Copies of this chain bind each other. A is one copy, B any other.
Amino acid sequence: MQRVGVAILGLGTIGSAVATALEERHDLIAERTGQQLVLRAVFERTPERASRANLDPDIIATDLATVLSEDGLDVVVEVLGREQPAADYMVRCLNAGFHVVTANKEALSKHFAEILAAAKQAGRGILFEASVGGGIPLLVSYRQILATNRVTRVRGIVNGTTNYILSQMASGGAAYADALAEAQRLGYAESDPSGDVEGFDAAYKLAILASLMSGRHVLPDEIIRTGITGVTPRDIDDARKRGGVIKLIAKAELGNDGELALSVAPEFVPNDELLAHVHANYNAIEVVGDCVGPVVLSGQGAGPLPTASAILSDIVEAVRNGAAANPAFPLGA
């Protein structure tokens, strides 16, 4: 049995769920993978979060250096959110010789080349299954397809908040503002919802998928982005009459000229496509390979439990394969 020391950076909703899951699933994971995952250190600066987490206070530190000096540490889980200091911290953890598992699409999409270079240099794994599609085994699938296929298109519903709002508008005829208010009441949308409804979150995720597809660092800024704030009940009714729905679709498509067309925008999706039937806060991604054809994966794209599930799998995979689990592409900017 292999003992694996884990650190968590950030005790927000996701970090707390990971801490709980590490404890509750210790035996199950040990039985199935031969790895005993033990939480050894936590980085958290907000005292309320630290005390709420019901953890041994001795393992909680307010600076990264203390966390990284912990004995027996193997993998650092970065769930701070936002661009900085998360991106810098990931590089520091890799440089210090630890595998890094992250759910942070913003930091990763903006600093992918730099983080990957640090991982390569250090010979450590950087895993990010939870950063796109939450608990959906998307990246492991995508990686399998990319190993042997030319992927010509990846597109999908990668933001649960906007899919919930559009689903509510379609099923109940609600206006955008009312559906947004309902999403906020249920905790699906933040009080400042712009990251979701303006398509930023979807663009970060698409940038990661497009980078893996093209082998270069695709920046979120390269993506033509339109949010859902302008979608009206009339648009949705028109779509219904045409035999389909409106979905916020993130799309990377390889043209015949070899150029990548990148967009996040509300699009008409006909009812004969699976994506049209992905409701509520679910996500779904379609990957089209020249050998395998179209493959669709769907599931819960966010939420503490599905995200923790993906993070735990990544810890296991990081220990098992290390740097061999990293994208094979150079991903130069």
Contacts and interface: CB of A to CB of B under 8 A. Distances in A.
Contacts of A291: 21, 25, 135, 305-306, 308-309, 312
Interface in A2-55: 21, 25, 28-29, 32-34
B292 A310 contact: yes
Contacts of A148: 21, 25, 28-29, 32, 309, 312-313, 316
Contacts of A145: 137, 309, 313
Nearest to A296: B298
A48 to B, nearest CB: 26
Could you say how many copies of this chain the assembly holds? Answer: 2
Interface string A308-322: 111011001100110
A146 B309 CA distance: 10
Nearest to A277: B277
A299 B293 contact: yes
A263 B181 CA distance: 44
Given A277-B274, A305-B292, A328-B33, A313 B147 contact: yes
A145 B299 CA distance: 12
Contacts of A297: 141, 295-298
A244 interface: no
A173 interface: no
A296 B34 CA distance: 27
Nearest to A328: B32
Given A292-B306, A306-B291, A32 B279 contact: no
A289 interface: yes
A148 B294 CA distance: 27
A3 to B, nearest CB: 17
